[in-house]
Structure 1
Amino acid sequence: MRRSALLAACLVLAACSEAPAGDAVVTVNLDGTPVVGASSPTPAGTQAAGLSACSTVTFETVPLTHCTADPAQHRIAMANAPAGGQPYGSLSTYAASADAGSVAFAFNGGIFGDDLKAVGYYVENGERLTELERGEGDGNFYMKPNGVFFGTGGQWRVLASEAFVATVGDRPQFGTQSGPMLVIDGKLHPDIQDNGPSRAIRNGVGVDAKGRTHFVIADAPLSFGQLARYFRDEVKAPNALHLDSQTSALWDPANGRLDQGRAGPIIVASRIRNNGREGTGE
């Protein structure tokens, strides 16, 4: 997520339903034209779709892709750069060096600078590489409260940044800060409008009451309000965090989807191997 102008919005509430089988979803620009080089979800029933942790739904007329990480089946980690190297910069570059057989899916997630390195709280493999950002500024990230997605082993959480500081003492194995929060203790962010004008390709993350983490990416432009309502009403996540706008991207190896575009921090959900070891994806 780049530091863009403050955006907040939504469309009139409509029903959420499974996308019709065989209907491909196309990533588009804000003007409705297809994004050049962007991948689309594979139509249902093709290319090992049954192995994917992701599915397509329609919410308030907007197509979404919803990926679920289950603590019994997956582990989550962050990736920004190979050891001693430069940031991957895109999901396609990361995918070229990863073990696709162990990766369930990967999303870009978290604010980054022009150098593609994380800005704000960022922990990778238990090492804190950048501190929590608590300052003021412009753009989505500074639409307070913002928040942190973090976890250790199979325990994952989303918390507003101040709640994270006040309640989390031990450093997690992974963590990424972004903003704004979409849902806070079961309520929508107070500054998210019901019918604002902004639409963008956005993605977000929330954890449900069973400890499963839900990653959602829009396959057509939508508002903050729509994404927030999806997490509140459909995912029923007490806390949910906006990850990116415009640069949102997904790698779903089982369905053959690999979105293009710049990426800073990358969130990777890997399958737990049969011997109990975690797949690292690298």
Structure 2
Amino acid sequence: MIRRTLILLAALWALPAVGSDSGAVSCSDLSYQDNRYTICEVDAARAQLKLFLRDDKEQVFGHFSNIEDALKAEGKDLIFATNAGMYHANRAPVGLYIEDGKQEMRLIPNAGPGNFGLLPNGVFCLRQGRADVFETLAFRDAGISCTSATQSGPMLVIDGALHPRFLPDSSSYYIRNGVGTSADGTRVVFAISRNAVTFHQFGSLFRDHLKLPNALYFDGNISRLHAPQIGRSDAGFMMGPVVGVVE
């Protein structure tokens, strides 16, 4: 009886952790400079990163649960997700949006109102085995082709420098989320603040603590996270673009 129990336990220990994608996604809480964050690190060379906006009936997903249901019908799981860029009232993307090779919205290179138009802004670009954050004009001029892409703004970190408009003594505090990428495009770190922070504080997290050369702001108070491995899946009003990892 004891031998059978030990064999069963050994078999269970050998199974991969649910939702881990063999270590391709890792989420945790951290504190940096008296602010609290949740970060999810994704190995883009191993994980299946995808953008989501509409279902097969062209209806906006809007909620993590709707994406989960659609994936489950295909025998897949959503093991991580977060909102991925700004959108209009009808949830249509404000700037460039490409999903699985299909472009819904063009690149917006000019300045405008709100955080999106606080140039320089940027593009989060998915390609085979990698993900990159590019400053918008550099992206346009390089003629880079992405399998999927979402434009947002402002940039948080640009080639190792904080956005030039960020002020250390800013009084603008919000919940914020964004993404940073390594130079080789394999390390992708999504972060969401757990208390209100300034742009300067949020950008400093990516540059000085996470050591990422480029990072992009996704949004503020609407920011939400789906991270089942740490028991978190935020609900609320409908979102526009969402980025996630599918297993």
Secondary structure class of the residue paired with 2:133: strand
Q: Kindly state the Cα deviation for residue 250 of structure 1 after the two structures are TM-superposed.
A: 0.6
Structure 2: stretches of 5+ with no match in the other structure: 1-16
On the 8 A contact 1:49/1:255 being kept in 2, the answer is no
Query: In 1, distance between residues paired with 2:118 and 2:85?
Result: 14
**Alpha carbons of structure 1 residues 196 and 164: separation in structure 2 relative to 1, 3 Å:** same
Structure 1: stretches of 5+ with no match in the other structure: 1-47, 271-278
Secondary structure class of the residue paired with 2:54: coil
On the 8 A contact 1:76/1:267 being kept in 2, the answer is yes
Secondary structure class of the residue paired with 1:106: strand
Q: Structure 2 counterpart of 1:71, which letter?
A: A
Report what 1:21 is aligned to: none
Q: Kindly state the Cα deviation for residue 90 of structure 1 after the two structures are TM-superposed.
A: 2.3
Q: TM-score, normalised by structure 2?
A: 0.84
Report what 2:135 is aligned to: 160
Report what 2:240 is aligned to: 264
Report what 1:13 is aligned to: none
Q: Kindly state the Cα deviation for residue 62 of structure 1 after the two structures are TM-superposed.
A: 1.4
Runs of 4+ in 1 over 4 A off after TM superposition: none
Q: Structure 1 counterpart of 2:169, which letter?
A: N
Matched ranges for 1:116-265 at <5 A: 116-170=91-145, 172-210=146-184, 211-261=186-236, 262-265=238-241
Matched ranges for 1:27-42 at <5 A: none
**Alpha carbons of structure 1 residues 103 and 93: separation in structure 2 relative to 1, 3 Å:** closer
Asked if 1:107 is matched to 2:82, the reply is yes
Q: Kindly state the Cα deviation for residue 155 of structure 1 after the two structures are TM-superposed.
A: 1.6
Report what 1:37 is aligned to: none
Report what 1:38 is aligned to: none
Of Structure 1 and Structure 2, the greater helix share is in: 2
Query: In 1, distance between residues paired with 2:67 and 2:224?
Result: 12
Secondary structure class of the residue paired with 1:53: strand
Identity of aligned residues (%): 35
Asked if 1:64 is matched to 2:64, the reply is no
On the 8 A contact 2:28/2:230 being kept in 1, the answer is no
Q: Kindly state the Cα deviation for residue 93 of structure 1 after the two structures are TM-superposed.
A: 3.0
Q: Kindly state the Cα deviation for residue 101 of structure 1 after the two structures are TM-superposed.
A: 5.9
On the 8 A contact 1:53/1:104 being kept in 2, the answer is no
**Alpha carbons of structure 1 residues 103 and 73: separation in structure 2 relative to 1, 3 Å:** farther
Q: Kindly state the Cα deviation for residue 98 of structure 1 after the two structures are TM-superposed.
A: 3.0
On the 8 A contact 2:45/2:130 being kept in 1, the answer is no
